[in-house]
């Protein structure tokens, strides 16, 4: 068996659920929430490219691949070592994760790459594809958006009529990493464990409401994609929101605490609900 000891960062059609992910079907996915410095562009040919830019981020996933798998992806990306006119160049860059930084290979714009037609400001190819489609969307709510009473008070409850039930996200932990004047806001951090929440089926109008509610344009939260297991054991891909610049945990306000616990009461497992209550209590005591 080939050793899978080469670290590769992917951001476009090689990502899980995308059209060329079959090239990585035998690879080991290490992390889902990662980014590199660069600017993402839509080539207009069904795939994106990265241009060098220190002040922007491009989001993607990290895999461990073998030499054979990397060679096949080189061919897909029309990359040949020492050729001056590649479609993509394969370079080593720093990749930033919830657990620190590491080095990985990344395919960036080569001299023969199609001139970019559109800068993707979010830096996320999957998010770009989603917001330009009209297909139904699964939404994973793990914080106060589990609370139907909150939606009724805001008169937006018709957006959230279709509830799929409880979803379980493996490999993440619930944290309160967004400090505000009203206390800490919820986040999920890719550091092991599991997070439970409520899964909704929503449309594009509802997604745009969530963008506003989560402060996406202000770079507070960003949309991202996770794979969940429903109670039926079905695996689905869902959009959720994570804090962009994570800080030390802060106890939530009484109102936020009430919303997250009230919203999760009928959907979360007893064990997870108890852990959530205990974690908030620890933060309130300042013992974390």
Choosing from 214, 237, 259, 277, which is the catalytic residue? 214
Task: Indicate the pairing of strand 48-51 with strand 39-42.
Answer: antiparallel
Residue 180 CA to residue 201 CA, distance in Å, equals 29
* In 148-260, beta strands by DSSP E: 163-170, 173-180, 183-189, 194-202, 221-230, 235-243
Q: Which helix (H) or strand (E) holds 8?
A: strand 6-10
Residue 80 tokens read as 């040949």
> Can you tell me the distance from the alpha carbon of 28 to that of 130, in angstroms, rounded to the nearest whole number?
25
Q: Please report the sign of the dihedral spanned by the C-alpha atoms of residue 255, residue 260, residue 265, residue 270.
A: negative
Q: How far is CA 80 from CA 71, 117, 131, 159, in A?
A: 9, 25, 34, 49
How distant is the alpha carbon of residue 273 from its chain centre? 23
Q: Which H helix or E strand runs over 106?
A: strand 100-109
User: What's the distance, CA 6 to chain centroid?
Assistant: 23
Question: Which residues, 6 or more positions from 224, have their beta carbon under 8 angstroms from its beta carbon?
Answer: 32, 33, 59, 124, 127, 239, 240, 241, 242
Tokens 């990344």 correspond to 106
Instruction: Confirm whether 214 is a catalytic residue.
Output: yes
- Residues taking part in catalysis: 214
């Amino acid at each position: 068996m080939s050793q899978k000891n080469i670290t590769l960062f992917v951001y476009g059609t090689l990502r899980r659920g995308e059209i060329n992910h079959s090239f990585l079907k035998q690879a080991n996915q290490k992390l889902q929430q990662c980014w590199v410095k660069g600017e993402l562009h839509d080539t207009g040919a069904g795939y994106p490219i990265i241009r060098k830019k220190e002040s922007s981020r491009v989001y993607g996933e990290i895999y461990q691949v073998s030499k054979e798998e990397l060679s096949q992806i080189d061919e897909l990306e029309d990359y040949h070592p020492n050729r001056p006119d590649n479609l993509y160049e394969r370079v080593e860059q720093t990749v930033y994760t919830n657990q620190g930084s590491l080095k990985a290979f990344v395919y960036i714009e080569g001299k023969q790459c199609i001139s970019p037609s559109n800068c993707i400001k979010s830096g996320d190819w999957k998010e770009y594809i989603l917001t330009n489609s009209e297909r139904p969307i699964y939404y994973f709510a793990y914080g106060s958006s589990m609370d139907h009473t909150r939606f009724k008070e805001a008169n937006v409850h018709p957006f959230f009529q279709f509830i799929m039930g409880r979803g379980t996200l493996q490999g993440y932990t619930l944290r309160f990493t967004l400090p505000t004047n009203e206390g800490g806001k919820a986040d999920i951090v890719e550091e092991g464990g599991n997070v439970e929440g409520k899964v909704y089926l929503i449309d594009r109008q509802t997604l745009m409401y969530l963008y506003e509610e989560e402060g996406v344009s202000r770079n507070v939260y960003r949309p991202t994609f996770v794979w969940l297991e429903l109670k039926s054991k079905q695996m689905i891909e869902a959009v959720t929101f994570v804090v962009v610049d994570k800080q030390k945990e802060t106890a939530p306000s009484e109102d936020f605490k009430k919303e997250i616990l009230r919203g999760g009461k009928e959907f979360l497992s007893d064990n997870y609900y108890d852990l959530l209550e205990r974690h908030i209590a620890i933060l309130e005591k300042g013992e974390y």
